Amino acid sequence: MAGWTPDEIPDQTGRTVVVTGANSGLGLVSARELARHGAHVVMACRTPAKAERAAEQIRAEVPGASLELRELNLASLASIRAFADALTADHPEIEVLLNNAGIMMPPRSLTEDGFELQFGTNHLGHFALTGLLLGALQAGDTPRVVTVSSIEHRPGRITFDDLQREKYGPRSAYQQSKLANVLFGLELDRRLRAAESPLISVLAHPGYSDTNLQRTGPTGLMRGLLEVGNRILAQSKESGARPQLYAATAPGVRGGEFYGPTGPGEIRGSVGLVTPVPRGRDEETAARLWEVSEELTGVTFPLPAPAAA
């Protein structure tokens, strides 16, 4: 896979792909490249006007792109349920769910349901969405769930006694949400295998990529540092999207794999397999987080718990 580019994406004609956060950054690049290769792309975005502008941009580059715009606010369980109900009514079979959307290091605030915004959006929102789309995904042709994490998962800690981060640090809360993405993606894979499901769960991260995340969430000194980092270290959003596009489309991808840049520190470089930190592979933590996530969201997955290792 060294040197892989989106030009190598297989024909996606007839496949329905859902991309969260498709109006900018990695999501916009992913939606464009998937549409370029024939997929019907559902652009799941919080702000309809931004989604319309993004769709116009894609159509200008990919005439005839098959796009469908749907409103989705991952910080609202009511919005997630409404989105899932309407989508599955129209698309009983879905081939790929790309859990791409995210928010990074804002001042502390809460979702509509009272969750810390980063944990609620980045993890709980995608957890609930995946569960509500599970039936349609399992009915798809060689289906995949791709959950996008970050190199910031490495120092992350799941603080079960303070998941909503009353003791708030913007970066540590972000790191918790990205570690939760890894734990969820791997636990989902274990449960799908226990169920002998055709659906696979795969992880990806973009390294350090220049996207709107660094400009719309952080404030103060952190925002300034990230702006400098964007100019000196970051790769383009086109390069940053490659791991998730590979995970979503490449032949031979297996459940439980994690794709990212393979250069020093996984900051940039060719797409390849990467390894989560040991905390991300801890099955006891993953099982506990799964149970808590079902309780908090009210979304349960009709999948058996994996056998104890």
Whether 25 maps to a domain, the answer reads: yes
**Model pLDDT, residue 213:** 57
Q: Give the residue numbers spanning the domain of 162.
A: 11-296
Q: How far is CA 250 from CA 4, 22, 170, 244, 284, in A?
A: 10, 20, 35, 10, 31
Show Cβ contacts of residue 193 under 8 Å, excluding neighbours closer than 6 positions.
255, 306
Is pTM beyond 0.75? Reply is yes
Q: What is the pLDDT of residues 96-155, one digit of tens each?
A: 999 999 999 999 999 999 999 999 999 999 999 999 999 999 999 999 999 999 999 999
Whether 272 maps to a domain, the answer reads: yes
Is there a catalytic annotation at residue 174?
yes
**At residue 220, does pLDDT exceed 70?**
no
**Model pLDDT, residue 225:** 53
Helical H segments across 144-210, by residue range = 170-194
What is the number of structural domains in the chain? 1
Whether 306 maps to a domain, the answer reads: no
Whether 307 maps to a domain, the answer reads: no
Q: What is the pLDDT of residues 35-54, one digit of tens each?
A: 999 999 999 999 999 999 99
Whether 86 maps to a domain, the answer reads: yes
Residue 304 DSSP label = P
Whether 133 maps to a domain, the answer reads: yes
Instruction: Choose, from 168, 174, 208, 246, the residue flagged as catalytic.
Output: 174
Whether 62 maps to a domain, the answer reads: yes
Q: What is the CATH number of the domain that holds 16?
A: 3.40.50.720
**Model pLDDT, residue 47:** 97
Structure tokens, 220 = 């103060």
**Distance (Å, whole) CA 265 – CA 295:** 36
Q: If pLDDT is split at 50, 70 and 90, which confidence band does 214 have? A: very low
Whether 302 maps to a domain, the answer reads: no
